Structure 1
């Protein structure tokens, strides 16, 4: 399984390293210890954050654009989740961010491999950081990360013995996010799936046509936040980087927005210099396109049955969604939730949405929530696909509620 290389900072509040999860497959992780002035990190949960794509980088985007201690300008983030939890960012699947493969056949091609790779990483991590074996563990995720979180969570639940936890391990708990467009396929399309011989190109073409229609008729709406416009992608970049035409718009939508020039410069410049352990021939995000391409056949497969299995265990499952997200819209989220076979679903559906306020002094509604037994659904207002980027205060409040700190 390989060894973990820790490189602590002078403050001792963060460590990072690689785990060889399979031969020629090396996964990068970065841990920050919680920095609450009133509580020791051991009194707070551990949150693992998984980015989407597949191919997006948690250690880059989730860390510096959403919930980490510093923003992209390396200034302190007021709404960092470190106030309420220790944070574990993992560049997953292998090839995302600073994770890398030595051979082209070492990329993950399905959810089962993504989950089994993460089992190796988590076992190594918890063996080396026994201080986290006795705190609650939550998986938070975004976009395609929600699909991966579901698969990883179920594997974690089915095989906790293999992780060799000792003491009073209280996990796992997790949050699923951004599953709407992946899980909610039109009914007619679902009926034809069996006749496609697993050729997902048809599904991609349907999505491409939808994207094109919306983009052309909305003056270039940003699919990740409908109140903004998309940045144009040059035709030269598209022709150089992609060979399968039906994947071009998908990869651009799901990965490229996570790989902005400014973030790439930060990660391949100052951050790479700080980390000191990144191989010379590994650039941050350099293998992201290959990650996406290798997951092609798995991309459109629904995982509603996995969510059902998670609910059946009695473990807590939470879905959250930004109101202004188009690529994974709230209606799509509600649509796949309605397909759950969970026996308690009728009672969940009967509930009215409860208003939430991120500022106790303000009467402005920040979100709505439904919660029944071990299923919760947060609908975040004025937020797009990247909820913590758009509504940092509400995202932090939601995290505190999910981790039972409010």
Structure 2
């Protein structure tokens, strides 16, 4: 009981002047269209500069769809405080202004007035994002000329592609005063069928499945591909979830986001394949993972002390609409965005620098005399391989993340 009260005391000390924690910040809702309300949480950089506008603005997009940037991206991956409410020494706020956005609407603290206002396509998500940024710049005009970068992880990477295109269109039309310099996609869900087909070969090469397990996984993945090719997009999404179940069966529940992680034993699972897969995608963690004793439960943290500090409306419950967000996008979930991006699958895509990129050298990434990965580039296009990292590179290998941040922004 003493430990419980110590925790509460720690949380309460962070509730200062309508903010959570000691870091300079701002937060607000933007009504991106009638009935749809999107939430953002801005952290100003702590870099030693005369003015925070001397550093770029980075938007962080969580995956899912339905994963909360203000919760997962912030407290679990790269924000200034971790889940123990201790300062994170590798937070991106050290070098950048970071804008966590709960999108699509219905994610995290964002909410819709009724189900008719959810998004169903990637382009609708992108249009909402442009409207969110218009509202942000109206409240923060000092950021209009500041270099803007959009970083998307997992499904956030898929969203980032169309967001970048829509932002560029708005800048060209002069309907938004922003300074978009680039987008980055980390382990992005930009060609879902191709990615699903890689699970079996990766696990076989890593020794995590035998030939029989490999064949079961690939059979399920090829069925997802067949359904997609026939235009049965919702059915393909359901089969993707069934493929994930085959992975768990063959590996005895390998951590889906980091195959190097040791997994605890768990009992019989009563949820459907789809419900399990949806939960994993939204939370960006294996559903069998456990919170360490010194850490807060994220759901409690976001729905109690953080909600109170940020003055979130009483009727909004963090994450309560996230499952519906995912469900509404089932028909779009398996659709690729590689035609719009020309940033991934470079060896297959046709673009002016394709030959030069293919012929470019693959260079090592050295950070503090440690080999953290490799990079390959041509012009403004970069591809990074980061060592010793699972799905969330900024969390698993902060030094490797510094390399691509510095390459893209010249800071870090």
TM class, shorter-chain normalised? 0.7 to 0.9
Check if 1:210 corresponds to 2:243.
Answer: yes
User: SS where residue 289 of structure 1 aligns?
Assistant: helix
CA spacing shift, 1:293–1:229, aligned 2, 3 Å: farther
Root-mean-square deviation (Å): 2.7
Which residue in 2 is equivalent to 1:313? none
- Decide which of 98, 107, 111 is 1:87's aligned counterpart: 98
Check if 1:182 corresponds to 2:220.
Answer: no
101-110 vs 136-145, which deviates more? Answer: 101-110
Which residue in 1 is equivalent to 2:301? 266
184-193 vs 131-140, which deviates more? Answer: 184-193
Shift of 1:250: 2.6
44-53 vs 31-40, which deviates more? Answer: 31-40
Which residue in 1 is equivalent to 2:386? 380
Matches within 5 A, 1:5-404: 13-160=24-171, 164-165=175-176, 170-179=179-188, 182-185=191-194, 192=226, 196-205=230-239, 207-229=240-262, 232=266, 235=269, 238=271, 245=272, 247-257=274-284, 262-276=297-311, 278-308=312-342, 336-359=345-368, 362=369, 364-404=370-410
Shift of 1:234: 7.0
Partners of 1:102 and 1:233 lie apart in 2 by 38
Partners of 2:169 and 2:83 lie apart in 1 by 38
Shift of 1:162: 5.7
Partners of 2:235 and 2:147 lie apart in 1 by 41
CA spacing shift, 1:162–1:218, aligned 2, 3 Å: same
Partners of 1:61 and 1:196 lie apart in 2 by 35
Which residue in 2 is equivalent to 1:321? none
Shift of 1:183: 4.2
Q: Does the 8 Å contact 1:7/1:16 carry over to 2?
A: no
Q: Does the 8 Å contact 2:158/2:188 carry over to 1?
A: yes
Shift of 1:230: 5.1
Q: Which runs of 5+ in 1 are unaligned?
A: 1-5, 239-244, 309-316, 318-332
Partners of 1:26 and 1:286 lie apart in 2 by 14
253-262 vs 365-374, which deviates more? Answer: 253-262
Shift of 1:212: 2.6
Which residue in 1 is equivalent to 2:7? none
User: SS where residue 18 of structure 1 aligns?
Assistant: strand
Shift of 1:72: 1.0
CA spacing shift, 1:390–1:176, aligned 2, 3 Å: same
Shift of 1:405: 2.6
Normalised by the size of structure 2, how large is the TM-score? 0.80
**What do the CA deviations read for 1:141-194 (whole angstroms, capped 9, x no partner)?**
10000000001000011121566455xx54242112222573453597798567
**What do the CA deviations read for 1:102-159 (whole angstroms, capped 9, x no partner)?**
2011111111110111111111111221110111000011000000000100001112
CA spacing shift, 1:150–1:263, aligned 2, 3 Å: same
Q: Does the 8 Å contact 2:20/2:306 carry over to 1?
A: no
Q: Does the 8 Å contact 2:148/2:181 carry over to 1?
A: yes
**What do the CA deviations read for 1:342-388 (whole angstroms, capped 9, x no partner)?**
131222122232111222xx3x3111111111210111100000111
Shift of 1:283: 1.1
Q: Which runs of 5+ in 2 are unaligned?
A: 1-16, 198-220, 292-296
Partners of 2:228 and 2:388 lie apart in 1 by 39
Q: Which runs of 4+ in 1 moved over 6 A?
A: 8-12, 187-191
12-21 vs 142-151, which deviates more? Answer: 12-21
Normalised by the size of structure 1, how large is the TM-score? 0.81
User: SS where residue 366 of structure 1 aligns?
Assistant: strand
Q: Does the 8 Å contact 2:233/2:330 carry over to 1?
A: no
**What do the CA deviations read for 1:280-309 (whole angstroms, capped 9, x no partner)?**
12111111100000010000000011103x
Q: Does the 8 Å contact 1:153/1:172 carry over to 2?
A: no
Shift of 1:394: 2.1
User: SS where residue 298 of structure 1 aligns?
Assistant: coil
Partners of 2:87 and 2:336 lie apart in 1 by 38
Partners of 2:188 and 2:298 lie apart in 1 by 25
Shift of 1:265: 1.3
CA spacing shift, 1:155–1:234, aligned 2, 3 Å: farther
